[in-house]
Structure 1
Amino acid sequence: MSLHKYVSDVKIIDQNEQVVFNYLSNFENLAAYLNSGLIEKITKQVPQVKITDFQSDRDSCKFKITGMGVAEIKIVNRDPFKTIKVESSGSLPLSFTFWIQLLPDDAFKTKMRLTLHAEMSMMIKMMAGNKLEEGINQLADTLSKLPYK
């Protein structure tokens, strides 16, 4: 197993960093969005990945990925209005830590970047490495377009 790092492009969100932080640091907000059609969209784009049994609370979410096992993601650190650190657990063949980094751009805009550290075997890296590079940018793009309130 070795550690691999993936960094998203910087995205601009049309909200201040406090609003963005408060929304993203509560997985219950993301659950409503995921259950409103995003899971089906992911399955259509990547038919090999079927996500089922999604559950969440403020600090964690848990779901099954067909053929891979149960994934559990937990927020392990919140640095108010700057960083949210998330770690995985469960029975997936890789483990990861990722950070959502926020930086004010002006009073009503926030810069966001995601950094993913994935611990995986060379075989998994060969199969999923390019997908993770694409995926981190797609996730950043999706998070930048959420209905922040």
Structure 2
Amino acid sequence: MHIETDKVTVNKPAEEIFDYLADMNNFEQLLQNDKIEKVNTTADTCEFTIKGMAKIGLKTVERNRPEEIKIESFGKVPFNFEMNIHVKPAGDNTCEAYLTFDGKINPFMKMMVEKPMTNFLNMLAHKLAEIHNN
């Protein structure tokens, strides 16, 4: 299952946004939502529970400053996945960011999780813009 989020414009330089996202401790701020609970972070990992669904674990596996952060599933997760965060300069002190997600799931499970996962990933992208554009 492949998902690409909305592209969001962030009014900060790409390097600054990359550095923010490269430290998974900052994901606690991105995950502030009434549907997210039990957030636990380190510089390289983030674990949380989506209410009514599953526990999700993320682990940073590669940082390519300032354009891409590669993340993989971590711990006990319902399915394995890879997620990439893309940050592209878009002018003076502005950048564009989006996420791509590739999950290794069967067709039946895809029908159940594709829409909620797309909504969740878009929420992360828009929350990034909201935090840094205010």
Provide TM-score, normalisation by structure 2.
0.86
* 1:87-106 correspondence to structure 2 within 5 Å: 87-106=72-91
CA contact 2:30–2:128 (8 Å) conserved in 1: no
Structure 1: distance between partners of 2:69 and 2:52: 29
Which structure 1 residue ranges, 5 or more long, are not aligned?
44-49
Q: What amino acid is the match of 1:144?
A: A
Which of 110, 114, 134 is equivalent to 1:125? 110
Alpha-carbon distance, 1:127 to partner: 0.8
Q: CA RMSD in A?
A: 2.1
CA contact 1:94–1:119 (8 Å) conserved in 2: yes
Q: How many residues align?
A: 133
Alpha-carbon distance, 1:12 to partner: 0.4
Provide TM-score, normalisation by structure 1.
0.78
Q: Identity rate of aligned residues, in percent?
A: 25
| Corresponding residue number in structure 2 for 1:30 | 27
Cα deviations across residues 95-149 of structure 1 (Å, max 9, x unaligned)? Answer: 211111111111210011211101112221111112222332222111222248x
Which structure 2 residue ranges, 5 or more long, are not aligned?
none
SS of residue paired to 2:74: strand
SS of residue paired to 2:104: strand
Cα deviations across residues 66-122 of structure 1 (Å, max 9, x unaligned)? Answer: 665543211111001110111112222222111111111112100112111011122
Alpha-carbon distance, 1:59 to partner: 0.7
